[in-house]
């Protein structure tokens, strides 16, 4: 965070008054700190995406193919036909501005092109200028413009300043989802090889090794083994997780962020402990997979096709191992994909007929809401266990935690997972306070690094985007003494610690199952002295 200004200074720089000149006349300057590095051509090549080449966003020449405009026009035409959402969103926006101040990137930067309506207008103006009769004849008068290289650069810059969180869509009277426009905008840019590296390389890694960091199976095993060591130190109980186990009942898939970076790792330890507990007490049979070791789907930020290719692994692996259903860990875009795309994309091709409507083998609860995808969210699973009194929990171990809940955008606005994690959280901590209305549930704010924007080089953008979330946390921190921000998303767990450190340094970030595991009492465990982070437990008698 070396070049990043102090929070007060960054905050003081926010100005919501747009420039005098018309937005089409305001040239886009690509600012360091607000953009991510260009995609490494090797990664683009690895998954066979078009026009892999070396380029630098700050250069004049982006190495576009000769016929780049034609490629975009064809791509655009094709997508107008393939996506009614896109076509409608191009046509019916009335520019009422209801979405304008709903985007965390606008709130935190004041850059008018970060107003969702204008972000979409960047593409819409070209659609009008090049595709509609009205716009072709009247041009700028009809709000149309030509597709030039600088327009393309503007697209690239602003489509990668949208975390596809869909908050704007909640407020639009027609449900216009700028995320959908951005997704397609990015697909078009991908036709020219113009991705960012923080997406392209994870995509290639996921494709090859099954997870976004490119962790090979033996290393994946080692990392989890290492967590088991830690767990043994803390609890005296050593989990014995299964890997690639044929004949297991349930396949567990979580984002690989949980395996790699703090504080996600504590959440990962939480899963391990929960499964071990359930295995010992009730004989639960669950397996991890090294092949399908990534839930998060970076293909989603590349193209629908790439999303499909990465997602296919989950069903293929479930089929190979012969499991009945799949349990999914705490992840944001993984769940958006599972909830809204997976069954459509890969259901008939890869889902084996041996899979069944998920049933919790311990409580007998049938997850009817997952009848077709056969994937259950771990918050649903654990909430069900707790409700049936299947877990022995001691809240007091989390007595030093005063929790507030961050609804991760994708599960909140893509599936409506709101009350399950709250129920679990309230069952394992003593102090829980909600952030103000308008900043939670469907109106929740993005962490600022979703949709592949969690790179190091775009620190300033992430801190600006993180402001609304942090600001609400700050409020409950100052007013009620909240010191922990819980969430169910691996990107959140990667981004929010930085943004908290920047805006509200007194608050830490955790996943849901870290708290569950802290509270979970194993029969025969040794007296715990620390929590999963190695911090002293609050005195039991306090």
Partner 1 sequence: MKALYSLFLVFALAAIALVGAGALGMEKAFGLYIPFLAVAVFVVGFCVRVVGWGKSAVPFCIPTTCGQQESLPWIKQSTIENPSTTGGVVMRMLFEVLLFRSLFRNTKVDLHEGTKVTYGSSKWLWLGALAFHYSFLTIVLRHMRFFTEPVPGLIAGIESLDALLQIGAPTLYLTDLVFVVAVTYLFLRRVVVPQVRYISLVQDYFPLFLILAIAFTGIFMRYFAKVDIISVKQLAMGLVTFSWNVPEGIGVLFYIHMFLVSVLLAYFPLSKLMHMGGVFLSPTRNMNCASRKFRHVNPWKFENVHYHTYEEYEDEFREKMVDKDLPVDKPLAEGAE
Q: Which of residues 161-190 bind ligand SF4 (CB under 6 A)?
A: 162-168, 171-174, 176, 178-179, 182
CB 308 within 8 Å of CB 388: no
Binding residue (CB under 8 A) for partner 1 from 72, 316, 494, 510: 316
Number of residues that bind ligand SF4 (CB under 6 A): 29
Between 52 and 196, whose beta carbon lies closer to ligand SF4? Answer: 196
Q: Give min distance, CB of 118 to ligand SF4, in A.
A: 9
- H or E segment to which residue 186 belongs: helix 178-191
Interface stretch with partner 1, choices 58-66, 81-89, 150-158, 523-531 (CB under 8 A):
81-89
Q: Does 513 sit near partner 1 (CB under 8 A)?
A: no
Q: Can you tell me which residue has the tokens 């200074």?
A: 9
Cis peptide before 511 (omega within 30 of 0): no
For residues 500-539, which are near ligand SF4 according to CB under 6 A? none
Q: Does 344 sit near partner 1 (CB under 8 A)?
A: yes
Q: Does 13 sit near partner 1 (CB under 8 A)?
A: no
Q: Give min distance, CB of 129 to ligand SF4, in A.
A: 18
Q: Give min distance, CB of 359 to partner 1, in A.
A: 13
For residues 193-212, which are near partner 1 according to CB under 8 A? 207-210
Between 57 and 214, whose beta carbon lies closer to partner 1? Answer: 214
Q: Does 90 sit near ligand SF4 (CB under 6 A)?
A: no
For residues 443-502, which are near partner 1 according to CB under 8 A? 443, 467-468, 471, 474
> Helix, strand, coil proportions of the chain in percent (round to 5)?
50, 5, 40
Category of 296 on φ-ψ map: left (φ > 0), alpha (ψ -120 to 50) or beta: beta
The single-letter DSSP state of residue 148 is: -
Q: Does 112 sit near partner 1 (CB under 8 A)?
A: yes
For residues 254-313, which are near partner 1 according to CB under 8 A? 290-291, 304-305, 308-309, 312-313
Q: Does 234 sit near partner 1 (CB under 8 A)?
A: no
Cis peptide before 263 (omega within 30 of 0): yes
Q: Which residues pair with 252 in a beta bridge?
A: 288, 327
Q: Which does 105 bind (CB under 5 to 8 A by kind): partner 1, ligand SF4, none?
A: ligand SF4
- H or E segment to which residue 375 belongs: strand 375-377
Q: Is 33 exposed, middle or buried (0-12, 13-18, 19+ CB in 10 A)?
A: middle
Q: Does 399 sit near partner 1 (CB under 8 A)?
A: no
d(CA 69, CA 355): 46
Residue 221, token pair as written in the block? 């095993």
Binding residue (CB under 8 A) for partner 1 from 32, 58, 70, 94: 94
Extract the runs of DSSP E, i.e. beta strands, from 232-328.
242-243, 250-253, 286-288, 325-328
Which residues lie closer than 8 Å to 73 by C-beta, 6 or more apart?
A: 130, 147
Q: Does 333 sit near ligand SF4 (CB under 6 A)?
A: no
d(CA 282, CA 249): 13
Burial letters 156-181, b for 16+ CB under 10 A, else e: bbbbbbbbbbbbbbbbbeeebbbbbb
Binding residue (CB under 6 A) for ligand SF4 from 38, 51, 83, 102: 102
Q: Which does 288 bind (CB under 5 to 8 A by kind): ligand SF4, partner 1, none?
A: none
Residue 462, token pair as written in the block? 């992430």
d(CA 205, CA 43): 8
Between 98 and 415, whose beta carbon lies closer to ligand SF4? Answer: 98
Applying CB under 6 A, which residues contact ligand SF4?
Answer: 93-99, 102-103, 105, 116-117, 119, 162-168, 171-174, 176, 178-179, 182, 446
């Amino acid at each position: 965070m070396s070049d990043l200004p102090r929070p007060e200074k960054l905050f003081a720089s926010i100005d919501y008054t747009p420039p005098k000149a018309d937005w089409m006349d305001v040239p886009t300057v690509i600012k360091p700190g607000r953009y991510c590095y260009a995609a490494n051509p090797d990664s683009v090549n690895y998954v066979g995406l078009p026009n892999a080449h070396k380029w630098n966003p700050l250069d004049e020449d982006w190495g576009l193919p000769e016929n780049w405009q034609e490629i975009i026009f064809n791509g655009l035409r094709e997508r107008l036909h393939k996506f009614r959402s896109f076509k409608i969103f191009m046509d019916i926006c009335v520019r009422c501005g209801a979405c304008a101040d709903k985007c965390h990137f606008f709130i935190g930067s004041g850059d008018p092109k970060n107003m969702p309506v204008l972000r979409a207008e960047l593409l819409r103006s070209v659609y009008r200028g090049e595709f509609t009769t009205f716009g072709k004849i009247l041009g700028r008068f009809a709000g149309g413009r030509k597709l030039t290289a600088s327009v393309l650069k503007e697209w690239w810059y602003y489509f990668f300043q949208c975390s596809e969180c869909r908050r704007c869509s909640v407020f639009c009277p027609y449900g216009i989802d700028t995320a959908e426009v951005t997704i397609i905008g990015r697909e078009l840019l991908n036709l020219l090889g113009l991705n960012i590296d923080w997406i392209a390389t994870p995509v290639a890694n996921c494709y090859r090794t099954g997870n976004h960091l490119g962790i090979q199976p033996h290393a994946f095993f080692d990392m989890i083994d290492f967590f088991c060591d830690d767990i043994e130190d803390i609890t005296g109980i050593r989990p014995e997780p299964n890997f690639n186990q044929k004949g297991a009942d349930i396949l567990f898939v979580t984002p690989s962020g949980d395996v790699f970076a703090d504080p996600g790792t504590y959440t990962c330890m939480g899963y391990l402990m929960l499964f071990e507990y359930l295995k010992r007490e009730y004989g639960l049979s669950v397996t991890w997979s090294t092949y399908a070791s990534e839930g998060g789907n970076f293909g989603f930020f590349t193209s629908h096709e790439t999303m499909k290719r990465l997602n296919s692994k989950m069903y293929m692996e479930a089929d190979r191992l012969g499991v009945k259903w799949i349990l999914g860990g705490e992840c944001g875009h993984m769940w958006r994909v599972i909830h809204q795309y997976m069954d459509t994309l890969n259901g008939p091709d890869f889902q084996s007929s041996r899979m069944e409507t998920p049933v919790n083998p311990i409580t007998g609860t049938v997850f009817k809401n997952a009848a077709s995808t056969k994937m259950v969210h771990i918050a649903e699973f654990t909430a069900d266990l707790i409700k049936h009194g299947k877990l022995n929990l001691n809240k007091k171990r989390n007595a030093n935690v005063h929790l507030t809940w961050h609804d991760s955008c994708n599960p909140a606005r893509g599936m409506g997972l709101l009350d399950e994690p709250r129920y679990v959280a309230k069952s394992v901590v003593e102090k829980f306070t909600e952030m103000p209305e308008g900043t939670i549930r469907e109106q929740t704010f993005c962490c600022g690094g979703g949709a592949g924007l969690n790179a190091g080089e775009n620190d300033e953008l992430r801190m600006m985007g993180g402001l609304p979330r942090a600001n609400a946390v700050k409020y409950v921190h100052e007013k009620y003494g909240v010191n922990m921000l819980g969430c169910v998303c691996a990107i959140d767990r990667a981004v929010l610690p930085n943004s908290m450190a920047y805006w509200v340094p007194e608050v830490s970030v955790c996943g849901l199952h870290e708290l569950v595991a802290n509270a979970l009492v194993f029969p025969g465990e040794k007296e715990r002295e620390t929590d999963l982070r190695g911090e002293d437990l609050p005195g039991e008698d306090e």
